[in-house]
Chains A and B, each alone.
Chain A
Amino acid sequence: SAVISQKPSRDICQRGTSLTIQCQVDSQVTMMFWYRQQPGQSLTLIATANQGSEATYESGFVIDKFPISRPNLTFSTLTVSNMSPEDSSIYLCSVLGGRREETPLYYGYTFGSGTRLTVV
């Protein structure tokens, strides 16, 4: 299955600043997914990033706040902009666990190790 390298693993940021999180995958993947996990909560999908097109955002998430880049089939970034303490969360990227041609029916999804963000 795919292996994801996610950076940074954690950061403490001042309010009003921005942080860019990177995910590098060891194989080409069509879609990459970005999730947020607020303290003590479950995961919520932020957006889906396809190479060569604009990311698709879920309800409650907007591009101005969470701009996403997807320059190629192995890399994506998520930026958390103009941060406030409410943005303190774990952010995770995810890809299909199998090869690009395969559906997730048999492989599930592979997740990055997460970025623990604290905004002060």
Chain B
Amino acid sequence: SQQGEEDPQALSIQEGENATMNCSYKTSINNLQWYRQNSGRGLVHLILIRSNEREKHSGRLRVTLDTSKKSSSLLITASRAADTASYFCATDADFAGGTSYGKLTFGQGTILTVHP
């Protein structure tokens, strides 16, 4: 079943602007991950934030996690036309014994279009 809900479903911005996407989830998680998918191809892992982290940065990406609200946001700063893609959040559920069972649950995704 789909756990995450993302908003907006679609986002259209100009190059140089910032893009913010939000994700909500329902159950306890071990970590939350963001992925990018270009034109229905394979997914590329962008960033992972653990349940005990609140914010993480990677290049132009900034991710926040609020476990009390069961929500996360992905900020892409200074966007480029090459950032045009679908972005998905995915949650990795709580697991025991230090081993993940890989049952990622994906949100519905946000389609980002960056106009040159």
Contacts and interface: CB of A to CB of B under 8 A. Distances in A.
Interface of A: 1, 4, 6, 31, 33, 37, 41-45, 48, 58, 90, 92, 94, 96-97, 103-114, 116
Contacts, number: 76
Given A42-B88, A104-B102, A116 B40 contact: yes
| Most chain A beta-carbon neighbours within 10 Å: one of B30, B43, B90, B92 | B43
A117 to B, nearest CB: 12
Interface string B27-67: 00011010100001111110110100000000000000000
B108 interface: yes
A27 B2 CA distance: 30
Contacts of A104: 31, 48, 92, 100, 102
Nearest to B92: A104
Given A33-B102, A94-B102, A105 B42 contact: no
12 contacts: A1-B45, A31-B102, A42-B106, A42-B109, A48-B103, A94-B102, A103-B100, A104-B31, A108-B45, A108-B48, A109-B102, A110-B45
Contacts of B99: 103
Given A45-B103, A96-B102, A109 B41 contact: no
Given A42-B2, A45-B103, A109 B45 contact: yes
B116 interface: no
B2 to A, nearest CB: 6
Contact of B40 (A31, A90, A96): A90
Nearest to A59: B1
B45 A97 contact: yes
Given A43-B88, A105-B48, A109-B33, A92 B103 contact: no
Given A45-B104, A114-B41, A114-B42, A106 B109 contact: no
Contacts of B41: 113-114
Contacts of A114: 40-42
B42 A113 contact: yes
Given A42-B2, A108-B48, A6 B42 contact: yes
B30 to A, nearest CB: 8
